[in-house]
């Protein structure tokens, strides 16, 4: 009986070597489970005192060794595949990180209308400067959704004016562009913009403009107080539709 329980422990150990811990190694296929089940049954029968083997001892032993060999080979194959997959993921992640750093730090800003990059037809987008506030807005209908700066910071409110330059109404939907934005002042570090529920949040804007009509939208940056000074230049970093661009907007 002691040998029987030792066999069961060995079987569990082999199953763990195939399935692995957590999601490190994929679950066993039906074929792999059959191999383990058949091997388990053979070992349990071997140590059952009431069982009379139909095979000769040498033949029985050879069959068991062959089954164990197949299970071990399959486990080794799965471990090798998982190791190769992990190595590929790590290399891809490292490559993306390196490319991202080069893209944001070394690429020079160009002059381009953000509307052209975002494929917004019939409109033009320009920057009307930046103001620094403790909260925004500080008056008006949007006050219910006011955004407050963090401790030791102020809100850098970058104003982006959208104007319909065409002769017909223009339906503008920036929200569904799912673009990403960052802002840099005086050629410095690019800062992530804040996500808000403001109706005039540039990244969330949806509306219709008549010919010649314009609307003031904003991008908010939570900026340290010591960095809050009237900038000589403002650069806008945009990522959209698999492409990126840095444009000087001010």
Give the tens place of pLDDT for each residue, 216-240: 999 999 999 999 999 999 999 999 9
83's tokens: 């190791």
- Looking at domain 114-248, which of 3.30.70, 1.10.3470, 2.40.50, 2.60.40 is its CATH number? 2.60.40
Q: pTM of this prediction?
A: 0.57
Integer Rg of the chain from CA: 32
Q: 77-130 pLDDT, tens per residue?
A: 667 666 666 666 666 555 455 444 434 444 666 778 999 999 999 999 999 999
Q: Which residue has the tokens 């540039």?
A: 202
Q: What residues does each domain of the chain span?
A: 2-106, 114-248
């Amino acid at each position: 009986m002691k040998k029987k329980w030792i066999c069961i422990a060995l079987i569990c150990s082999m199953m763990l070597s195939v399935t692995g811990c957590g999601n490190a190694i994929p679950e066993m296929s039906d074929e792999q489970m059959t191999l383990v089940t058949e091997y388990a049954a053979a070992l349990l029968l071997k140590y059952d005192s009431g069982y009379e083997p139909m095979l000769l001892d040498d033949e029985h032993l050879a069959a068991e060794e062959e089954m164990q060999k197949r299970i071990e080979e399959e486990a080794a194959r799965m471990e090798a595949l998982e190791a190769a997959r992990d190595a590929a993921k790590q290399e891809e992640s490292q490559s993306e990180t390196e490319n991202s750093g080069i893209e944001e730090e070394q690429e020079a800003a160009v002059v381009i209308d953000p509307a052209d990059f975002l494929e917004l037809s019939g409109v033009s987008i320009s920057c009307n400067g930046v103001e620094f506030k403790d909260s925004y807005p500080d008056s008006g209908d949007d006050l219910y959704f006011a955004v407050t700066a963090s401790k030791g910071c102020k809100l850098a409110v970058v104003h982006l004016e959208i104007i319909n330059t065409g002769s017909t109404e223009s339906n503008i939907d920036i929200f569904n562009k799912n673009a990403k934005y960052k802002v840099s002042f005086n050629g410095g570090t690019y800062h992530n913009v804040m996500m808000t529920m403001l109706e005039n949040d540039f990244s969330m804007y949806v509306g219709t403009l008549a010919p010649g009509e314009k609307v003031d939208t904003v991008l908010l940056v939570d900026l340290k107080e010591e960095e809050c000074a009237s900038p000589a230049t403002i650069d806008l970093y945009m990522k959209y539709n698999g492409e990126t661009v840095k444009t000087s907007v001010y």
